[in-house]
Amino acid sequence: MAKRVPVIAGNWKMNTDVESGLKLVKDILDLSKDFSGVDKIVCPPFISITSVAQALSGSSIQVGAQNVSANPDGAFTGEVSTSMLRGFISYAIVGHSERRAMNGETSAMVAEKAIAAANAGINPIVCVGEDLEVRKAGNAERYVAKQLEESLAGYTDWDSLIVAYEPVWAIGTGEAATSEQAQQMTHACREVIRKLAPEAADSVRVLYGGSVNSGNVVELMDQPDIDGALVGGASLKADEFSKLIAAASAS
């Protein structure tokens, strides 16, 4: 089995403006240029995507969107289509728990977005994760497996897929999952892929997300089913994000 290339992806969420976003990527570029063997991704807000993509053109850092529309064009106020993004981005986060919770995105909608992205040559990063109530009830594995299966309904472009397991209770709380919990759940995600596409199960990258920082990344990345991290807060600090890239490069 070929080794899966590790991924460090930064989700800036609704932070930075065009100017500070450009400064952030320039600093990351500077601090992380010596680290190879890792896919480095930044996902700025839509308003910064063109300028960040231009600044990173020809560099080792790739750009992603935080969301895409499943629709090609038309009367969808405030939405951004894959064809508008094509050429600027290589990745798109779909189904982040904040969009599921605050924008009413269902797994069926997430599946449509993942397919639209893949059809446009954009690699989707499909996010799943349970909230605290589900975990406390002991249903985390079953819940996430179902959520992932539904979020990949009709999806066939396995080479382009990245999955991110992000427990809602660990996002932005400073309380990451333990490496055992994260391993168990990323393994469960991989088993869903194995069921849907057995030939792809060992090559699809599965990330962990939720309060990842330079203090816990090594232990998390040491787990056999964790191929990298989707990072929120720590992706807004160039030195901290570069430490994550360094750790992934050494993994």
Given 79, 96, 112, 175, which residue is catalytic? 96
Residue 95 vs residues 100, 113, 125: alpha-carbon distances, Å: 6, 8, 8
Minimum CB separation of residue 211 from ligand PGA in Å reads 4
The DSSP call for residue 222 is T
b/e 28-46 (16+ beta carbons within 10 angstroms → b):
bbebbeebeebbbbbbbbb
Counting contacts by CB under 6 A, is residue 172 touching ligand PGA? yes
Cβ proximity to ligand PGA: between 35 and 64 the closer is: 64
240 is an active site residue = no
Give Cβ neighbours of residue 13 (< 8 Å, ≥ 6 apart). 45, 66, 98, 232
Q: How many chain residues touch ligand PGA (CB under 6 A)? A: 13
Instruction: Report the residue number whose CB is nearest to ligand PGA.
Output: 232
Counting contacts by CB under 6 A, is residue 211 touching ligand PGA? yes
Contact (CB, 8 A) for 62 and 84: no
Please state the separation of Cα 246 from the chain's center in Å.
18
Cβ proximity to ligand PGA: between 111 and 128 the closer is: 128
b/e 56-90 (16+ beta carbons within 10 angstroms → b):
beeeebbbbbbbbbbeeeeeeeeebbbebbeebbb
Cβ proximity to ligand PGA: between 124 and 210 the closer is: 210
Alpha-carbon gap, residue 12 to 43, rounded angstroms: 6
Q: Tokens for 98?
A: 């904040």
Out of 166, 225, 227, 240, the only residue in the binding site for ligand PGA (CB under 6 A) is 166
Contact (CB, 8 A) for 186 and 175: no
Counting contacts by CB under 6 A, is residue 117 touching ligand PGA? no
Minimum CB separation of residue 214 from ligand PGA in Å reads 12
Counting contacts by CB under 6 A, is residue 67 touching ligand PGA? no
Cβ proximity to ligand PGA: between 11 and 16 the closer is: 11
Minimum CB separation of residue 26 from ligand PGA in Å reads 22
96 is an active site residue = yes
Minimum CB separation of residue 128 from ligand PGA in Å reads 12
Alpha-carbon gap, residue 30 to 236, rounded angstroms: 15
Given 98, 105, 166, 240, which residue is catalytic? 166
Counting contacts by CB under 6 A, is residue 39 touching ligand PGA? no
Cβ proximity to ligand PGA: between 84 and 217 the closer is: 217
Binding site residues, ligand PGA, CB under 6 A: 11, 166, 171-172, 209-212, 230-234
